[in-house]
Protein backbone atom coordinates (compact mmCIF):
# COMPACT_ATOMS: atom_id res chain seq x y z
CA UNK A 1 0.00 0.00 0.00
CA UNK A 2 1.33 3.48 -0.84
CA UNK A 3 2.03 5.90 2.00
CA UNK A 4 -0.59 8.39 0.80
CA UNK A 5 -3.32 5.78 1.32
CA UNK A 6 -1.92 4.88 4.74
CA UNK A 7 -2.04 8.55 5.67
CA UNK A 8 -5.67 8.89 4.56
CA UNK A 9 -6.73 5.77 6.44
CA UNK A 10 -5.07 6.89 9.66
CA UNK A 11 -7.03 10.15 9.88
CA UNK A 12 -8.65 10.12 13.30
CA UNK A 13 -6.63 7.07 14.36
CA UNK A 14 -6.40 8.10 18.05
CA UNK A 15 -10.21 8.21 18.30
CA UNK A 16 -10.87 4.81 16.69
CA UNK A 17 -10.48 2.58 19.80
CA UNK A 18 -12.73 4.65 22.06
CA UNK A 19 -15.32 5.04 19.33
CA UNK A 20 -15.45 1.31 18.55
CA UNK A 21 -15.60 0.30 22.22
CA UNK A 22 -18.39 2.78 22.92
CA UNK A 23 -20.55 1.82 19.94
CA UNK A 24 -20.02 -1.93 19.53
CA UNK A 25 -20.12 -4.78 22.02
CA UNK A 26 -18.27 -7.05 19.58
CA UNK A 27 -15.00 -5.32 20.48
CA UNK A 28 -13.67 -5.67 24.02
CA UNK A 29 -10.31 -3.96 23.55
CA UNK A 30 -8.31 -2.10 20.91
CA UNK A 31 -4.84 -0.64 20.42
CA UNK A 32 -3.81 1.51 17.46
CA UNK A 33 -0.24 1.43 16.15
CA UNK A 34 0.14 4.40 13.83
CA UNK A 35 3.65 5.38 12.70
CA UNK A 36 5.24 7.26 9.85
CA UNK A 37 4.59 4.37 7.44
CA UNK A 38 2.02 2.04 9.00
CA UNK A 39 -1.48 1.99 10.45
CA UNK A 40 -2.46 -1.12 12.37
CA UNK A 41 -5.29 -1.90 14.77
CA UNK A 42 -5.06 -4.72 17.30
CA UNK A 43 -8.47 -5.60 18.66
CA UNK A 44 -10.00 -8.20 20.94
CA UNK A 45 -13.39 -9.83 20.46
CA UNK A 46 -15.25 -11.53 23.34
CA UNK A 47 -15.68 -14.78 21.39
CA UNK A 48 -15.02 -16.44 18.05
CA UNK A 49 -18.57 -15.65 16.96
CA UNK A 50 -17.95 -11.91 17.44
CA UNK A 51 -14.87 -11.69 15.21
CA UNK A 52 -16.53 -10.74 11.95
CA UNK A 53 -18.83 -8.25 13.66
CA UNK A 54 -15.84 -6.68 15.39
CA UNK A 55 -13.96 -6.35 12.12
CA UNK A 56 -16.96 -4.73 10.46
CA UNK A 57 -17.30 -2.26 13.33
CA UNK A 58 -13.65 -1.24 13.04
CA UNK A 59 -13.83 -0.87 9.26
CA UNK A 60 -16.97 1.24 9.59
CA UNK A 61 -15.35 3.51 12.17
CA UNK A 62 -12.22 4.03 10.06
CA UNK A 63 -14.42 4.81 7.06
CA UNK A 64 -16.33 7.39 9.08
CA UNK A 65 -13.18 9.22 10.20
CA UNK A 66 -11.25 8.97 6.94
CA UNK A 67 -14.08 9.54 4.46
CA UNK A 68 -12.98 6.47 2.49
CA UNK A 69 -15.79 4.03 1.50
CA UNK A 70 -16.06 0.97 3.73
CA UNK A 71 -15.36 -1.42 0.87
CA UNK A 72 -12.09 0.35 0.10
CA UNK A 73 -11.12 0.43 3.78
CA UNK A 74 -11.79 -3.29 4.11
CA UNK A 75 -9.72 -4.08 1.02
CA UNK A 76 -6.83 -1.97 2.31
CA UNK A 77 -6.32 -3.96 5.50
CA UNK A 78 -4.61 -7.30 5.87
CA UNK A 79 -6.16 -9.42 8.61
CA UNK A 80 -4.19 -11.66 10.97
CA UNK A 81 -5.64 -14.13 13.47
CA UNK A 82 -4.32 -16.67 15.93
CA UNK A 83 -0.58 -17.08 16.29
CA UNK A 84 -0.08 -14.97 13.15
CA UNK A 85 -1.09 -11.89 15.14
CA UNK A 86 1.61 -12.31 17.77
CA UNK A 87 4.16 -13.20 15.11
CA UNK A 88 3.30 -10.09 13.10
CA UNK A 89 3.40 -7.68 16.06
CA UNK A 90 6.62 -9.22 17.40
CA UNK A 91 8.25 -8.82 13.97
CA UNK A 92 7.02 -5.22 13.74
CA UNK A 93 8.31 -4.37 17.22
CA UNK A 94 11.70 -5.88 16.42
CA UNK A 95 11.99 -3.78 13.26
CA UNK A 96 11.80 -6.74 10.88
CA UNK A 97 8.86 -5.25 8.99
CA UNK A 98 10.31 -1.73 8.68
CA UNK A 99 11.69 0.22 5.75
CA UNK A 100 15.02 0.07 7.58
CA UNK A 101 15.39 -3.49 8.87
CA UNK A 102 16.13 -3.54 12.58
CA UNK A 103 15.23 0.11 13.13
CA UNK A 104 15.09 1.24 16.75
CA UNK A 105 12.23 3.74 16.81
CA UNK A 106 9.45 1.23 16.20
CA UNK A 107 9.99 -0.58 19.52
CA UNK A 108 9.34 2.67 21.35
CA UNK A 109 6.26 3.32 19.24
CA UNK A 110 4.86 -0.11 20.15
CA UNK A 111 5.33 0.71 23.85
CA UNK A 112 3.71 4.13 23.46
CA UNK A 113 0.75 2.64 21.58
CA UNK A 114 0.01 0.41 24.55
CA UNK A 115 0.50 3.23 27.06
CA UNK A 116 -1.93 5.45 25.15
CA UNK A 117 -4.53 2.67 24.95
CA UNK A 118 -4.17 1.99 28.66
CA UNK A 119 -4.53 5.70 29.39
CA UNK A 120 -7.80 5.87 27.48
CA UNK A 121 -9.08 2.62 28.93
CA UNK A 122 -9.16 0.90 25.52
CA UNK A 123 -6.54 -1.78 26.22
CA UNK A 124 -7.93 -5.10 27.43
CA UNK A 125 -5.88 -7.42 29.61
CA UNK A 126 -5.18 -9.71 26.68
CA UNK A 127 -3.85 -6.89 24.52
CA UNK A 128 -1.68 -5.65 27.38
CA UNK A 129 -0.07 -9.09 27.59
CA UNK A 130 0.35 -9.21 23.80
CA UNK A 131 2.10 -5.82 23.60
CA UNK A 132 4.27 -6.48 26.64
CA UNK A 133 5.41 -9.73 25.06
CA UNK A 134 6.17 -7.82 21.83
CA UNK A 135 8.39 -5.36 23.73
CA UNK A 136 10.26 -8.21 25.40
CA UNK A 137 10.79 -9.92 22.05
CA UNK A 138 12.16 -6.70 20.54
CA UNK A 139 14.69 -6.50 23.37
CA UNK A 140 15.69 -10.12 22.84
CA UNK A 141 16.21 -9.58 19.11
CA UNK A 142 18.30 -6.49 19.81
CA UNK A 143 20.43 -8.26 22.40
CA UNK A 144 20.85 -11.63 20.69
CA UNK A 145 21.31 -10.74 17.00
CA UNK A 146 23.60 -8.52 14.96
CA UNK A 147 20.64 -6.26 14.11
CA UNK A 148 20.84 -4.63 17.53
CA UNK A 149 24.47 -3.61 17.07
CA UNK A 150 23.95 -1.83 13.75
CA UNK A 151 21.92 1.02 15.25
CA UNK A 152 20.05 1.71 12.02
CA UNK A 153 16.90 3.79 11.96
CA UNK A 154 14.76 5.64 9.48
CA UNK A 155 16.15 8.92 10.81
CA UNK A 156 19.79 7.80 10.59
CA UNK A 157 19.40 6.61 6.99
CA UNK A 158 17.69 9.90 6.06
CA UNK A 159 20.53 11.91 7.59
CA UNK A 160 23.09 9.76 5.78
CA UNK A 161 21.32 10.55 2.51
CA UNK A 162 21.29 14.25 3.38
CA UNK A 163 25.01 14.15 4.07
CA UNK A 164 25.66 12.49 0.72
CA UNK A 165 23.62 15.17 -1.09
CA UNK A 166 25.39 18.06 0.63
CA UNK A 167 28.60 19.67 -0.58
CA UNK A 168 29.80 19.70 3.02
CA UNK A 169 29.14 16.50 4.99
CA UNK A 170 30.19 18.07 8.32
CA UNK A 171 27.02 18.37 10.40
CA UNK A 172 28.71 20.60 12.95
CA UNK A 173 28.66 23.36 10.35
CA UNK A 174 25.05 22.89 9.29
CA UNK A 175 21.99 24.92 10.24
CA UNK A 176 18.84 22.81 10.66
CA UNK A 177 15.15 23.58 11.04
CA UNK A 178 13.06 20.80 12.60
CA UNK A 179 9.27 20.67 12.25
CA UNK A 180 7.43 18.73 14.95
CA UNK A 181 7.84 17.65 18.56
CA UNK A 182 6.77 13.99 18.46
CA UNK A 183 8.68 10.72 18.64
CA UNK A 184 10.41 11.09 15.28
CA UNK A 185 11.31 14.69 16.02
CA UNK A 186 12.93 13.51 19.25
CA UNK A 187 14.82 10.79 17.37
CA UNK A 188 15.93 13.34 14.76
CA UNK A 189 17.18 15.72 17.45
CA UNK A 190 19.19 12.92 19.10
CA UNK A 191 20.66 11.82 15.77
CA UNK A 192 21.63 15.40 14.86
CA UNK A 193 23.41 15.85 18.18
CA UNK A 194 25.27 12.56 17.68
CA UNK A 195 26.59 14.02 14.44
CA UNK A 196 27.75 17.22 16.12
CA UNK A 197 24.98 19.52 14.90
CA UNK A 198 24.24 22.32 17.36
CA UNK A 199 22.39 24.98 15.31
CA UNK A 200 18.88 23.49 15.38
CA UNK A 201 15.67 25.53 15.30
CA UNK A 202 12.40 23.80 16.26
CA UNK A 203 8.96 24.85 15.07
CA UNK A 204 5.63 23.42 16.19
CA UNK A 205 2.29 24.62 14.86
CA UNK A 206 0.72 23.33 18.08
CA UNK A 207 2.95 25.56 20.24
CA UNK A 208 4.92 22.76 21.92
CA UNK A 209 8.37 23.79 20.67
CA UNK A 210 9.35 25.52 23.94
CA UNK A 211 8.71 22.40 26.00
CA UNK A 212 10.49 20.24 23.43
CA UNK A 213 13.72 22.26 23.39
CA UNK A 214 13.70 22.62 27.17
CA UNK A 215 14.42 18.91 27.53
CA UNK A 216 16.22 18.15 24.26
CA UNK A 217 18.05 21.31 23.29
CA UNK A 218 17.75 23.52 20.22
CA UNK A 219 15.98 26.86 19.80
CA UNK A 220 12.21 27.22 19.59
CA UNK A 221 11.00 29.49 16.78
CA UNK A 222 7.61 31.09 16.30
CA UNK A 223 5.64 31.46 13.08
CA UNK A 224 7.05 34.97 12.75
CA UNK A 225 10.62 33.70 13.11
CA UNK A 226 10.18 30.70 10.80
CA UNK A 227 10.79 32.40 7.40
CA UNK A 228 14.15 33.75 8.57
CA UNK A 229 15.17 30.37 9.98
CA UNK A 230 14.19 28.67 6.72
CA UNK A 231 16.23 31.17 4.70
CA UNK A 232 19.38 30.36 6.68
CA UNK A 233 18.86 26.59 6.82
CA UNK A 234 21.01 23.97 5.14
CA UNK A 235 18.63 21.16 6.11
CA UNK A 236 14.91 21.18 6.93
CA UNK A 237 13.36 18.12 8.56
CA UNK A 238 9.60 17.56 8.68
CA UNK A 239 8.25 15.22 11.39
CA UNK A 240 5.02 16.91 12.38
CA UNK A 241 2.37 15.44 10.09
CA UNK A 242 0.53 18.73 10.29
CA UNK A 243 -2.46 19.47 8.07
CA UNK A 244 -0.70 22.68 6.98
CA UNK A 245 1.53 21.32 4.21
CA UNK A 246 4.33 23.61 3.02
CA UNK A 247 4.11 24.22 -0.72
CA UNK A 248 6.95 24.64 -3.18
CA UNK A 249 5.89 28.28 -3.59
CA UNK A 250 6.36 28.85 0.16
CA UNK A 251 9.92 27.50 0.03
CA UNK A 252 10.68 29.52 -3.08
CA UNK A 253 9.37 32.71 -1.47
CA UNK A 254 11.31 32.46 1.80
CA UNK A 255 14.47 31.40 -0.06
CA UNK A 256 14.29 34.18 -2.63
CA UNK A 257 17.70 35.72 -3.25
CA UNK A 258 19.56 32.82 -1.61
CA UNK A 259 21.72 30.46 -3.63
CA UNK A 260 22.40 28.28 -0.61
CA UNK A 261 21.62 24.58 -1.37
CA UNK A 262 18.85 23.11 0.76
CA UNK A 263 18.04 19.51 1.68
CA UNK A 264 14.46 18.85 2.78
CA UNK A 265 13.79 15.63 4.69
CA UNK A 266 10.08 14.76 4.91
CA UNK A 267 9.48 11.95 7.44
CA UNK A 268 5.81 12.70 8.08
CA UNK A 269 3.35 10.07 6.87
CA UNK A 270 0.94 12.74 5.61
CA UNK A 271 3.85 14.82 4.23
CA UNK A 272 4.88 18.13 5.73
CA UNK A 273 6.07 19.29 2.30
CA UNK A 274 4.51 19.27 -1.14
CA UNK A 275 6.39 16.75 -3.35
CA UNK A 276 6.86 19.59 -5.85
CA UNK A 277 9.47 21.00 -3.44
CA UNK A 278 11.90 18.51 -4.97
CA UNK A 279 11.64 20.24 -8.37
CA UNK A 280 12.99 23.58 -7.08
CA UNK A 281 16.49 24.70 -8.00
CA UNK A 282 19.13 23.95 -5.36
CA UNK A 283 16.62 21.89 -3.32
CA UNK A 284 16.89 18.14 -2.73
CA UNK A 285 13.88 16.30 -1.26
CA UNK A 286 14.24 13.10 0.80
CA UNK A 287 11.02 11.23 1.60
CA UNK A 288 10.13 7.97 3.32
CA UNK A 289 10.14 6.35 -0.11
CA UNK A 290 13.72 7.59 -0.59
CA UNK A 291 14.72 6.12 2.77
CA UNK A 292 13.08 2.80 1.93
CA UNK A 293 14.95 2.61 -1.38
CA UNK A 294 18.29 3.56 0.21
CA UNK A 295 17.99 1.35 3.30
CA UNK A 296 20.86 -1.15 3.42
CA UNK A 297 20.11 -4.84 3.18
CA UNK A 298 20.95 -6.67 6.36
CA UNK A 299 22.90 -9.89 6.44
CA UNK A 300 20.78 -12.97 5.78
CA UNK A 301 22.03 -14.84 8.85
CA UNK A 302 21.12 -11.98 11.22
CA UNK A 303 17.64 -11.75 9.71
CA UNK A 304 17.14 -15.50 9.90
CA UNK A 305 18.18 -15.55 13.55
CA UNK A 306 15.84 -12.67 14.36
CA UNK A 307 12.96 -14.32 12.50
CA UNK A 308 13.51 -17.55 14.45
CA UNK A 309 13.38 -15.62 17.73
CA UNK A 310 10.14 -13.95 16.69
CA UNK A 311 8.49 -17.22 15.66
CA UNK A 312 9.57 -18.93 18.86
CA UNK A 313 8.31 -16.05 21.01
CA UNK A 314 4.97 -16.01 19.18
CA UNK A 315 4.56 -19.76 19.60
CA UNK A 316 5.39 -19.51 23.31
CA UNK A 317 2.94 -16.64 23.76
CA UNK A 318 0.11 -18.58 22.13
CA UNK A 319 0.82 -21.61 24.29
CA UNK A 320 0.67 -19.45 27.41
CA UNK A 321 -2.62 -17.93 26.31
CA UNK A 322 -4.10 -21.33 25.57
CA UNK A 323 -3.07 -22.50 29.02
CA UNK A 324 -4.78 -19.48 30.57
CA UNK A 325 -7.96 -20.31 28.66
CA UNK A 326 -7.94 -23.94 29.77
CA UNK A 327 -7.30 -22.87 33.36
CA UNK A 328 -10.55 -20.90 33.20
CA UNK A 329 -12.41 -23.98 31.96
CA UNK A 330 -10.88 -26.15 34.68
CA UNK A 331 -11.82 -23.57 37.32
CA UNK A 332 -15.40 -23.57 36.01
CA UNK A 333 -15.58 -27.35 36.29
CA UNK A 334 -14.15 -27.28 39.82
CA UNK A 335 -16.63 -24.60 40.84
CA UNK A 336 -19.45 -26.76 39.51
CA UNK A 337 -18.36 -29.85 41.42
CA UNK A 338 -17.65 -27.80 44.55
CA UNK A 339 -21.17 -26.39 44.42
CA UNK A 340 -22.62 -29.90 44.12
CA UNK A 341 -20.48 -31.13 47.03
CA UNK A 342 -21.46 -28.18 49.24
CA UNK A 343 -25.12 -28.76 48.46
CA UNK A 344 -24.89 -32.41 49.43
CA UNK A 345 -23.00 -31.61 52.62
CA UNK A 346 -25.72 -29.14 53.62
CA UNK A 347 -28.20 -32.03 53.47
CA UNK A 348 -25.90 -34.30 55.49
CA UNK A 349 -25.45 -31.69 58.23
CA UNK A 350 -29.12 -30.88 58.25
CA UNK A 351 -29.74 -34.51 59.21
CA UNK A 352 -26.70 -35.37 61.32
CA UNK A 353 -25.32 -32.00 62.49
CA UNK A 354 -21.66 -31.05 62.59
CA UNK A 355 -20.42 -34.41 63.77
CA UNK A 356 -17.40 -36.60 63.23
CA UNK A 357 -19.52 -38.86 61.04
CA UNK A 358 -20.50 -35.93 58.85
CA UNK A 359 -16.83 -34.94 58.68
CA UNK A 360 -15.85 -38.41 57.49
CA UNK A 361 -18.51 -38.26 54.78
CA UNK A 362 -17.22 -34.88 53.59
CA UNK A 363 -13.62 -36.09 53.58
CA UNK A 364 -14.59 -39.09 51.46
CA UNK A 365 -16.60 -36.94 49.04
CA UNK A 366 -13.76 -34.46 48.62
CA UNK A 367 -11.30 -37.26 47.89
CA UNK A 368 -13.70 -38.73 45.34
CA UNK A 369 -14.17 -35.33 43.66
CA UNK A 370 -10.39 -34.89 43.36
CA UNK A 371 -10.12 -38.31 41.72
CA UNK A 372 -13.00 -37.59 39.35
CA UNK A 373 -11.44 -34.26 38.31
CA UNK A 374 -8.01 -35.75 37.62
CA UNK A 375 -8.76 -37.14 34.14
CA UNK A 376 -10.73 -34.04 32.93
CA UNK A 377 -7.83 -31.85 34.09
CA UNK A 378 -5.24 -33.97 32.26
CA UNK A 379 -7.40 -34.03 29.13
CA UNK A 380 -7.75 -30.25 29.27
CA UNK A 381 -3.95 -29.91 28.99
CA UNK A 382 -3.78 -32.46 26.19
CA UNK A 383 -6.54 -30.84 24.16
CA UNK A 384 -4.99 -27.40 24.69
CA UNK A 385 -1.73 -28.69 23.23
CA UNK A 386 -3.70 -29.91 20.20
CA UNK A 387 -5.48 -26.56 19.82
CA UNK A 388 -8.85 -28.12 20.70
CA UNK A 389 -9.76 -26.01 23.74
CA UNK A 390 -13.11 -25.10 22.16
CA UNK A 391 -14.03 -28.81 22.08
CA UNK A 392 -13.36 -29.00 25.81
CA UNK A 393 -15.50 -25.99 26.73
CA UNK A 394 -18.28 -27.23 24.45
CA UNK A 395 -18.20 -30.59 26.27
CA UNK A 396 -18.49 -28.86 29.64
CA UNK A 397 -21.55 -26.99 28.44
CA UNK A 398 -23.13 -30.11 26.90
CA UNK A 399 -22.39 -32.62 29.68
CA UNK A 400 -22.56 -30.53 32.84
CA UNK A 401 -24.61 -27.54 31.77
CA UNK A 402 -21.71 -25.25 32.70
CA UNK A 403 -22.20 -21.92 30.96
CA UNK A 404 -18.75 -20.67 30.01
CA UNK A 405 -19.37 -16.92 30.20
CA UNK A 406 -17.40 -14.68 27.79
CA UNK A 407 -15.11 -13.64 30.64
CA UNK A 408 -14.05 -17.30 31.02
CA UNK A 409 -13.50 -18.00 27.32
CA UNK A 410 -10.42 -17.12 25.32
CA UNK A 411 -11.17 -13.82 23.56
CA UNK A 412 -11.17 -14.46 19.84
CA UNK A 413 -8.58 -12.99 17.48
CA UNK A 414 -9.46 -10.03 15.27
CA UNK A 415 -7.77 -7.74 12.70
CA UNK A 416 -4.12 -7.79 13.74
CA UNK A 417 -5.22 -9.26 17.04
CA UNK A 418 -3.68 -11.82 19.32
CA UNK A 419 -5.56 -14.58 21.08
CA UNK A 420 -5.02 -13.58 24.69
CA UNK A 421 -6.78 -15.53 27.39
CA UNK A 422 -8.54 -14.69 30.60
CA UNK A 423 -6.70 -14.90 33.89
CA UNK A 424 -7.50 -18.07 35.76
CA UNK A 425 -9.03 -17.80 39.21
CA UNK A 426 -8.04 -20.15 42.01
CA UNK A 427 -10.77 -21.78 44.07
CA UNK A 428 -9.69 -22.24 47.71
CA UNK A 429 -9.04 -25.92 48.46
CA UNK A 430 -10.37 -25.58 51.99
CA UNK A 431 -12.49 -23.19 53.94
CA UNK A 432 -14.56 -23.29 57.14
CA UNK A 433 -18.00 -24.63 56.22
CA UNK A 434 -20.80 -22.12 56.65
CA UNK A 435 -24.27 -23.35 57.42
CA UNK A 436 -27.22 -21.68 55.74
CA UNK A 437 -27.90 -19.80 58.95
CA UNK A 438 -24.38 -18.33 58.92
CA UNK A 439 -22.96 -20.48 61.73
CA UNK A 440 -19.48 -21.84 61.15
CA UNK A 441 -18.68 -25.47 61.82
CA UNK A 442 -15.44 -25.67 63.82
CA UNK A 443 -14.45 -29.12 62.54
CA UNK A 444 -11.35 -29.39 60.29
CA UNK A 445 -12.80 -30.69 57.04
CA UNK A 446 -9.49 -31.66 55.49
CA UNK A 447 -9.14 -34.84 57.49
CA UNK A 448 -11.64 -37.15 59.18
CA UNK A 449 -12.10 -36.92 62.92
CA UNK A 450 -9.91 -39.37 64.78
CA UNK A 451 -11.45 -41.56 67.47
CA UNK A 452 -9.49 -42.59 70.52
Distance CA 402, CA 406 (A): 12
The dihedrals phi and psi of 223, each to the nearest 5 degrees, come to -60, -35
Parallel, antiparallel, or unpaired: how do β-strands 39-45 and 412-413 relate? antiparallel
Report the 3 state secondary structure along 93-109.
Answer: HCCCCCCCCCCCHHHHH
> Nearest-CA neighbor of 136 among 113, 105, 103, 110?
110
The verdict on whether 36 is a catalytic residue reads yes
SS3 (DSSP) at 380? helix
**251-254 long-range Cβ contacts below 8 angstroms, 24+ apart:** 251/277, 251/280, 251/283, 252/280, 254/227, 254/230
Per the residue annotation, which of 36, 197, 239, 441 is the catalytic one? 36
CA distances from 336 to 48, 330, 376 (A): 24, 10, 13
DSSP string, 278-289: GGSTTEEEEEHH
CA distance 21 to 57: 9
- Residues catalogued as catalytic: 36
Amino acid sequence: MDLETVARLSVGAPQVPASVLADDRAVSGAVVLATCNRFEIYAEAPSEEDVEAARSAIVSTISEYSGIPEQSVSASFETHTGQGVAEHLFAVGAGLDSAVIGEREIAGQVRRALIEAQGSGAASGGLVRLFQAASKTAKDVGAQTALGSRGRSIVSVALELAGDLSADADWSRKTVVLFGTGAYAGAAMAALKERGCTDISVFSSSGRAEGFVASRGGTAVTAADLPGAMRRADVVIGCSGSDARIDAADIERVRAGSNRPLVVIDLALSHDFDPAVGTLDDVELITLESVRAAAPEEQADALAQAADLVRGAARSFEEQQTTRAMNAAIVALRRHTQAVLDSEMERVRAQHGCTAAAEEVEFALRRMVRQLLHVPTVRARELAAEGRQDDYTAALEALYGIDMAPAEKTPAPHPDLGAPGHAAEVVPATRPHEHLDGAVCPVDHERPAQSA
